[in-house]
Each structure stands twice: as C-alpha cells, then as structure tokens.
Amino acid sequence: MKKLVNNPDVVVDEMIDGYLKAFPKLVEKVEGSGRALVAKQSLHGNGKVGIVIGGGSGHEPAFMGYIGRGMADGVAVGNIFASPPPQPIVEATEAVNQGNGVVYIYGNYAGDIMNFGMASDLADMEHDIKVESIIVRDDVASAPKREKEKRRGIAGEFFVTKVAGAASARGDDLSEVVRLTNKANESVRSMGVGLTPCALPQTGKPSFVLGENEMEIGLGHHGEPGVEKGPLQQADDVCDRLIDDILNDGDLKAGDDVAVLVNGLGSTTQMELFIMFRRVEQRLSEKQINIHRSYVGNYSTSMEMGGCSVTLMKVDEELKALIDAPAECPLYAQYE
Amino acid sequence: MKKLVNNPDVVVDEMIDGYLKAFPKLVEKVEGSGRALVAKQSLHGNGKVGIVIGGGSGHEPAFMGYIGRGMADGVAVGNIFASPPPQPIVEATEAVNQGNGVVYIYGNYAGDIMNFGMASDLADMEHDIKVESIIVRDDVASAPKREKEKRRGIAGEFFVTKVAGAASARGDDLSEVVRLTNKANESVRSMGVGLTPCALPQTGKPSFVLGENEMEIGLGHHGEPGVEKGPLQQADDVCDRLIDDILNDGDLKAGDDVAVLVNGLGSTTQMELFIMFRRVEQRLSEKQINIHRSYVGNYSTSMEMGGCSVTLMKVDEELKALIDAPAECPLYAQYE
C-alpha cells in the first residue's frame, strides 16, 4: 500500500513536526518533551480544570487535533496504534495543571489503561496533581452489555472530550467536570463497519483481510475482529444494522434528543457518509428521536481504513449546552 | 471498489438529502429545486454581493460544504465529476441575489464554463441580475505558463472562495469583491500527485491505472493525465517536485507571505499530509517565504483517490485580512 512518507520509523515525529509548524498560534510542544503537546489558549492562568487526552497515532484528527479552546488542553501522542508511555502523559499533565485538577480521557485499551494509570499515580505522587480518569467504552460491538467494562473506545470519545472540554472551559470545578464527562460517557454508543484494511507504514501490509465484496460489522479501530463478516450490503441495510444494535443496547425513546456522529474511518468518502447519515436520520425520525446536532466526517480514523461508524449520544439540557459550546482546535472548529 | 451506497444512480441526491438533514440550521435547498443549495445565514437582507459556487460532485467537502457565513452563499451541485446544468445555477443565483450583483466562482472545465456561462446570461436577461464570473486556473501542471488560460482549477478554488466570501461578508461592493477575488485567483498556484485511483459508484471501475509502486505527478482532480509517471518517491522528494514547479511558475521571493493548503485527495491520511506540510514549511523557510496561515486536510477530494496537492497563495495585507476572517460552513469553520 503506497504512502507519502520518508523513513517509516519516524512518521509520528515528522507528523508532529508538521502539525506544530502548521498551527504555531494554536499548539506547541511541552518544552523538552517529544510527544506531549498543549493548546496555547489553555495556558492563560484561568484556573480551569485541565483535560488531557491521548492514545496511539493513526486516528488523526484524533487525538492531537482536538486540543484547543473548548476541547482538551493537552495530548500525549503514541506510536501508530500504540499507547503513549507515561512520560509524555505526565508532561502534558504538568503543563496543563493550574492547581484545580486534571481529567484524563482515553479509550479502553490495555496499553492506555496501564500508561495513563501510571501517569496518574506519578502526577499525584511526584507533582501533587489530582487526576481523575474517564475510560471511554462506546463500541457496543466489542462486548455484550453485561460485560460493558470490556468494551473498546472508538469515535464516541470525540463527544466525551467535547463535553469535558466545554465544561472545563466555562469554569466548572473538577467534580462537576467529572460528573458531566461520566454522564456523556454513559450516554454514548457507537458501532462501526469495516470495508477495507489499512497498513502500518513500517510493514506496508494490510491490517486484516476481507473479500472483494465483503464487509465486517463491528470491526474495531485497529482492525480488531467484529461480530459478523458477510457480503457488502446497501448503505441503508448496513446503517440499519448499526442503528438497531445501538438502539437495542441503550434506552433511547420517543421524545429523546441525541447528538449524532457519522465517522469515516479514513478512505470512505463524505458522499457515502452523508448517504449513511440520511438513513440514520430516517430511522431516528421514525422513532421520534430528535437529532440535536450532527457531525459527519473523519473524526477518528484508522489511517486509510475503509468503512465508518455511527455514534449516538443521548443529550439532556446540560449535555446539549456543552455539545453546542464553541470550540477552536487545529483540526476541528465549531461555532455555537 | 467497495462503497457504502444504495442505488448508484441517485448517490448525489441521497448525499444532498443527508447533508441538508445534518445541517438544517445552516443550509437549505432552494424551494422547488433539486440541486441548488443556499446558506441560511446569507439570506438576511443585508444587501451583500452574492457568491455562487458549484461543479461536479465527488470533491466533497467542495463545493457544497463551503456555503455559509464568510464563504459562498449558494451552490449548484452536479452529478459526479459533471458540471451542474444552468438551471440550478440560476436558481442559486436568484436565491442569493440581494440586488447588488452575484459572483460565480468555478474551475476551468469546458462543462462548467458552458453551464455557468449560460446561467450568467439567463440571470442577466430573465432576472436582471448582474453576474461576474471568476474562473479558477490554479493547477500549474495542467498547462505551461504561456497557456495559462488552459489550466484546470483544483484545490486553490478553496482560497479563491474564501477571499470572495470574506470580502462580500464585510460588505464590499461588486467591483471590489471582483477585484479581490481576481487578485486571489492570480496569486494562487497548486500542483498535485496521484497514488491510487477512485471509482465511479455506477461502474465501480478505477478511473485510471497506476502500478503498485507508481505515482503520477500533476494528475488532475478527475484523473486527468499528469506530467510525469514514475516510481513513488519519499514524501520529501515528492513535495520538493511540487514546490519547485509551483515556485518556478510564480514570483514568490524572500519576505513574501503565503497561505498554504496541503490537500488530501480522499484516502491519504492526515499523517501523510502533515509529513508533506513539514517539508513545504522547510522549503519555504529556506527561501525566507513566511507562512501566514496553513490548511492541512481534505478540502477538495476526488472521491477516494490517493494522493495530495500543495497550494500556495501569495498574500499581501488585504488578502491576509480576508484569509483570516471567520467562516462558518457545515464542513469547514475557522475563527479569526
């Protein structure tokens, strides 16, 4: 698989280099660090609760694109599909700490749990920073409901980060940011479909194999096995499968409001994503579930993987206000 | 090539349907029209000069994603890689007309020239609307400098639209909007590289063929032949070729300021785009050309084509102000 890279061993560092040079007014590297980046607008001594995100690379614009006003303050950048080690997480934590606590948001993966866990302990013991961790588990395909603690985090982390970032930006204290972020995390559900694989720059080999007319329902963001392989169906049928599984897992009912994200995994066109969104809207409309705000595009990718995911987050008045709050990051901006 | 579609004959209509349902507060269809969309924020009776864009589908977020505050007011949406006919262009023109003239911006393709030309005549004769047309010709690979009138329009149209939209949004009159938009158009140069083809949903067949390790320098946004096929090189070398051809074509010199767009054609990852941007910055820095503002991402795609383009626009004080102006569209937003 062809890629525009130089030395495959340093793709992440060259990406970070390009990113920092593209948005010098918005982001910077923590001094002396290789992989901890912070939003410049966050460092104004406003006493806000710090928000630190991170994870493996290859999901761009997640996670590094989501630091900025109204979103996260710092990010630790791992190698491709690999958790960052504790050091850059601690560096980001120190950089964004303003004395009122820091919240970590990351997906439910063994490496991230270990490294963010160690970073949290180090931040507490060595730097006296109080850290609360929120582990995202939105992928309903990755484990049954009775084993929700095993579920992986996928594109729904975007909504969880949005809620945390908006709450901390308006000055909520640590316990309130944690309460709202947990509420978002409990309210968000996603499910994806994979059509074509991606390849690590170092190997050039596809991450999984699917037949020429095959799709995989429930495929994970790193190519983890899904729940069903089968012939590719029409977009509406694929969408129905995702929506049904999400709705059956949750408690959405007529009159409820949701935020919707139709997320491209990398090589899927916006045309296809809007055709998928069209069906999501039809299905929710039938059930008298109201779409409060929509996001359609590449928010959390798996490099050039083909396919998409659908995310629904039930929103009440307080979550609506946070989803609607303005945000300004290098790779995502929205007005109220 | 696998795609998430229903009936391939109606992909554009289903895409538009999904788009309108995703952003009901921002965009709407012109009443009675199938393919003319307008930004709601434009219709406030503020007397602004109208900006109408359009072209074939398959380039999303261009063109339909670029209607909104600070950008275009209306868009005519064609079939995939096919110009819209005059009717939706006239419909969009009527809808955005506030009595002070309308500017058309479109790429230099035979179909667009014919259809926008006819629409311009109809708008004038039947609706008494004064229309000025600006034809974008930023692709330096598509014809030599002495035949600039033959050059195709590619991703640079984003900058031209940004300038026109910002000038009209602040209340500039028709002649001033035209002067500034022409200045942007004269100052913008792009060049692309293709790695992998895209496929029309109706045929499923790749739009061109490249070997497993081949790239094509100067490839057009619909798979039009480039200037050179050869083995895929390292990102820095590919970037140098694009930058050299752009710089040799223009008159950029030490001390100048530019806006930069590194644009993904569809399936190219943001990681690769940032690695390309890194080299653009190195090259410009060597030449003491200052980057005023950067854009990195999928701004004008060719469905799921692999590859990217680099665009430079020389900006003086008045163009800087317009590039920096805020914008709020469904598929692109920026703060000042």
* Owner of token pair 């995911």: A309
pLDDT digits (tens, 9 = 90+) for A10-49: 999 999 999 999 999 999 999 998 899 999 977 677 899 9
pLDDT, average across residues A306-332: 98
8 Å CB contact of B333 and A335: yes
pLDDT digits (tens, 9 = 90+) for A224-262: 999 999 999 999 999 999 999 999 999 999 999 999 999
Closest residue in chain B to residue A278, using alpha carbons only: B18
Q: Give Cα separations from A220 to A214, A320, B18 (angstroms).
A: 16, 28, 25
Closest residue in chain A to residue B23, using alpha carbons only: A294
pLDDT digits (tens, 9 = 90+) for B111-143: 999 999 999 999 999 999 999 999 999 999 999
8 Å CB contact of B306 and A2: yes
If you count them, how many residues does chain B have?
Answer: 336
pLDDT, average across residues B60-72: 98
Identify whether B61 is preceded by a cis peptide bond (ω within 30 of 0).
Answer: yes
pLDDT of residue A45: 77
> Mean pLDDT score of chain B, rounded to an integer?
96
Domain boundaries, chain B: 9-187, 189-327
Q: Which residues of A are catalytic?
A: 59, 222
pLDDT of residue A43: 67
pLDDT digits (tens, 9 = 90+) for B229-249: 999 999 999 999 999 999 999
CB pairs under 8 A between A and B: 188
Q: Alpha helices, DSSP H only, in chain B?
A: 11-22, 86-96, 110-127, 157-169, 174-187, 235-249, 270-286, 317-324
8 Å CB contact of B213 and A269: no
Closest residue in chain A to residue B25, using alpha carbons only: A293
Supply the Cα-derived Rg of chain B in whole angstroms. Answer: 19
The ipTM estimated for the assembled molecules is: 0.98
Q: What's the CA dihedral at A159, A161, A164, A165 to 10 degrees?
A: -110
> Mean pLDDT score of chain A, rounded to an integer?
96
Q: Decide if pLDDT at A207 tops 90.
A: no
Among this protein's residues, is B59 annotated catalytic? Answer: yes
Of B23, B269, B274, the CB nearest to A19: B274
CATH 3.40.50.10440 correct for A8-187: yes
B304 contacts in chain A (CB < 8 Å)? 267-269, 306
- Please give the full DSSP string across B253-296, using - where no structure is assigned: -TT-EEEEEEEE-BS--HHHHHHHHHHHHHHHHHTT-EEEEEEE
pLDDT of residue B122: 98
* Owner of token pair 């996001």: A295
pLDDT of residue B43: 67
CA distance A135 to chain B (A): 25
Q: Decide if pLDDT at B322 tops 90.
A: yes
pLDDT digits (tens, 9 = 90+) for B167-193: 999 999 999 999 999 999 999 999 999
Just give the CATH number of B9-187: 3.40.50.10440
B291 contacts in chain A (CB < 8 Å)? 21
Q: d(Cα B269, Cα A18) in Å, to the nearest integer?
A: 13
pLDDT digits (tens, 9 = 90+) for B196-207: 999 999 988 888
pLDDT, average across residues B96-103: 97
Closest residue in chain B to residue A295, using alpha carbons only: B22
8 Å CB contact of B333 and A331: no
Sign, CA torsion A24/A27/A32/A36: negative
Nearest to A132 by CA among A177, A85, A69: A177
For an interface test with A, which of B269, B282, B290, B303 has the most A Cβ atoms less than 10 Å from its Cβ?
B269
B63 contacts in chain A (CB < 8 Å)? none
Q: Give the angle subtended at the CA of B121 by the CAs of B115 and B125, to the nearest 5°.
A: 145
Architecture of the CATH domain A189-327: 2-Layer Sandwich (3.30)
Of A19, A267, A335, the CB nearest to B267: A267
The CB-side HSE value for A273 (13 A sphere, CA atoms) comes to: 33
pLDDT, average across residues B62-79: 98
8 Å CB contact of B275 and A2: no
